[in-house]
Structure 1
Amino acid sequence: MRIAVLADTHSPRFWKGCPPAVARALEGVDLVLHAGDVCRAETLDELAALAPVRVVLGNNDGPDVAAWGAPEVLELTLAGVAVAMLHDSGPARGRGARLRRRFPHADLVVFGHSHVPWDEVHEGQRAFNPGSPTDKRRQPHRTMGELVLEDGEVRSSRVLVLD
């Protein structure tokens, strides 16, 4: 299962339609995970025209995103992999241990909020932040993520540079 991972799109301020590099990266994906701060439900509609979407609420998301079906935390199983998703995982220091305590059964935790790409494994649990495809803040590049899940394992995880 090939999954595109997005977070912190912040539309319409930064996302004024699906950027071409994002659209190319979404070609052929089985699912889009969005880790919050979508900011407009129309962005989710745009993504859903390309692939199924699962999303969580970010601190800048309003009732329209909640009405689209975004909970604060999402736990699901994809290709046999236990996945948890939330927007804000807290500070980088102690993140792995904190996520392991909060989601003891998750193999993979997807998060956003910081706009900083992150891909680390702590005690067998992968924590993955795709960064932002639109608002790089102090990062050198705009980014998103790609995961391949298969037979109960994260086969690959990578941060894609979009600019």
Structure 2
Amino acid sequence: MKEVNVIVLGDTHMPRMAKQLPKRLICELKTANLIIHVGDWQTREVYEQLKEFAPVKGVYGNVDEPFFHDHFQATLMLNLAGHRIGVTHGHGKGKTTEKRALEKFSDQDVELILFGHSHIPLHKEYEGRVIFNPGSPTDKRRQSHYSFGKLTLFRNEPIQIEHIFFVDKKH
């Protein structure tokens, strides 16, 4: 049974927070079947770099240039190896980022919700759904590490979800 390897990232804020993708991220991108960006790419160049590695899906965030609003949506539903996955950035007014992400898919049958915006890595279960924020590979803010996510999917098996943490965005 073929596995699907997905790299999940967001809040890259490039080129303001980094001039290039971190080497640790590039190492994982080389094995990806799909890349999902949860928004705040900032510039089109990020998308152009990512699509050199694998097909790219994603959503726009609150600081993205018009290209992303023209080519991506605020939410995205994916069916990967039989798993229903919802994607959103998570920005908005009121509530926490986590609650806003959950609310976007409250009336949809999703197994996993991917979101960003807070730059805070998160992986937990909430009312039968898994919610996952990859953090940021380039703008860790008050976090101890930079991070992104990796999903390994097989049909009829639970999704394997992990954070990849690293300390130097240049290496």
Fold match (TM-score > 0.5)? yes
Residue in 1 that maps onto 2:55 = 52
Residue in 2 that maps onto 1:120 = 124
Residue in 2 that maps onto 1:9 = 12
CA pair 152-14 structure 1, distance change in 2 beyond 3 A: farther
Which amino acid counterpart does residue 140 of structure 1 have in structure 2?
A: S
Kindly report which structure 2 residues correspond to 1:26-45, keeping only aligned pairs within 5 A, or say none: 26-45=29-48
> How far does residue 99 in structure 1 lie from its aligned partner after superposition?
4.0
> How far does residue 38 in structure 1 lie from its aligned partner after superposition?
0.1
1:99–1:109: 8 Å Cα contact kept in structure 2?
A: no
| Percentage identity across paired residues of the two chains | 35
In the alignment, structure 1 residue 22 sits paired with structure 2 residue 25: yes
Which amino acid counterpart does residue 38 of structure 2 have in structure 1?
A: A
Residue in 1 that maps onto 2:86 = 84
Unaligned runs of 5+ in 2: none
Unaligned runs of 5+ in 1: none
CA pair 82-13 structure 1, distance change in 2 beyond 3 A: same
Distance in 2, matches of 1:98 and 1:55, equals 17
Which amino acid counterpart does residue 91 of structure 1 have in structure 2?
A: T
Which amino acid counterpart does residue 116 of structure 2 have in structure 1?
A: G
1:146–1:159: 8 Å Cα contact kept in structure 2?
A: yes
TM-score normalised by L of structure 2? 0.86
SS of aligned partner of 2:60: coil
TM-score normalised by L of structure 1? 0.90
Which amino acid counterpart does residue 145 of structure 2 have in structure 1?
A: H
2:102–2:113: 8 Å Cα contact kept in structure 1?
A: no
Which amino acid counterpart does residue 120 of structure 2 have in structure 1?
A: V
Distance in 1, matches of 2:101 and 2:149, equals 22
Residue in 2 that maps onto 1:133 = 137
Distance in 2, matches of 1:155 and 1:21, equals 22
